[in-house]
Structure 1
């Protein structure tokens, strides 16, 4: 059963009006594996209002970082949106989830495919040594509607400088044109080969692919990858494609 701790907001970073990152300090050391999530909660009229959010920060960092989209008619996100420095919220423990690198079979390339806030767990993973030790190439794909949604660019640029021949970042922006960006839906870009061409890395059976974000994108991307011979990764039947679905 989950335990709850009181966290204190140390920063509410605005990416734009509907997208923000909460950095939260908690009173005790917090251990988790990159890719896992916790629940954030605030008191409601009758019970705690809570939702699951992935941890974006490195497991070695003392502050917890959460990437959040404000859902206008949501119960929790508009209230989290209003939190400022010194405000408190509840954080569940222990962390949960198996969308982690240790669940992946071996491979030569690691593809981290996301839409929206689904990039969050990948940022946590990239802060660790594991992807760089296990894979020759790491590809981060982030699909969004507008360029303003392409968050954490400073950190991504640091990885590009640190691993110039191994780290490949590909923004996919569907509703406007951006430099070096692709504009079609991610499943289409997988199917027509333009995603592979853009990053210069092959999507073959030597790849391990993680997918996180919009459910429709996940379903269609899985189908496109299956056409290339990449099947779902299960513990009982190891494969190439591992998914995390934020909502259904």
Structure 2
């Protein structure tokens, strides 16, 4: 393992947000593992019937870090794909079990994608929330932007993982607005709508009390492909575009599916 491209870590906690569907887990962290908020790790598991003493990871999947870069452990948030080869096994892990972590962090959904702006919009559906949790657990985003708006779109309220933590953070920090939106259930003070509809009809700006201004706003999108495709078109019409040829843009997008 000394020359391996991965380390063997130990599960310390597993939490079910929606039993059989949404969960998070924490694992020990190699002190040499350094990442930026918004990046992801490659997690590995051995073959199902591998001998524990000789187990090597053969199946790998990417998961954004939920933990802050300063945390002593790594935390990940996931949906269970019932017929999938990886996530059901990941959900079945218990404290003391092994999980392998690639030594190299990956991904570019990071704040250094942007030139300075006044407002940071973090728009997510489902488990696309993961990368933003890392950003909000770290103080950098809230120090760099005058306002940060986190919008989390789900189907029903029970899928609003980390809701209490995020609301408590917003209550403590007036720079942060937390907007939980459900499509199949009315939440107090919130419309029952898709994120894309709220972008199109101005509802999102009304809820946040801010304008989606390409000169002042920076937007991150993370979630399912359909939402990303529709939101990108809507935002392009408003003047938002990813950076290119070394020129920082005002829009960053990552598929989380």
**TM-score bin (small chain):** over 0.9
Q: Which residue of 2 aligns with 1:175?
A: 184
CA displacement at 1:2 relative to structure 2: 7.8
Report if aligned partners of 2:142, 2:176 keep a CA contact under 8 Å in 1: no
Separation in 2, partners of 1:2, 1:103: 31
Separation in 2, partners of 1:26, 1:100: 21
Q: Which residue of 1 aligns with 2:18?
A: 16
Report if aligned partners of 1:222, 1:232 keep a CA contact under 8 Å in 2: no
What's the Cα RMSD here?
1.7
SS in 1 for 2:198: helix
Q: Which residue of 2 aligns with 1:185?
A: 194
State the TM-score, normalized to the length of structure 1: 0.94
Which stretch shows the higher mean deviation, 231-240 or 109-118? 231-240
State the TM-score, normalized to the length of structure 2: 0.91
Report if aligned partners of 2:39, 2:64 keep a CA contact under 8 Å in 1: yes
Q: Which residue of 2 aligns with 1:97?
A: 107
SS in 2 for 1:117: helix
CA displacement, residues 147-194 of structure 1 (integer Å, 9 cap, x when unaligned):
111011222123212212x21111110111111233221111101000
Asked if residue 121 in structure 1 is aligned to residue 131 in structure 2, the reply is yes
Separation in 2, partners of 1:29, 1:2: 14
Report if aligned partners of 1:144, 1:174 keep a CA contact under 8 Å in 2: yes
Q: Which residue of 1 aligns with 2:40?
A: 37
Describe the shift of the 1:232–1:12 C-alpha distance in structure 2 as closer, same or farther (beyond 3 A). Answer: same
Separation in 2, partners of 1:63, 1:235: 36
SS in 2 for 1:224: helix
Paired residues in the alignment total: 246
Separation in 2, partners of 1:27, 1:59: 12
Q: Which residue of 1 aligns with 2:228?
A: 218
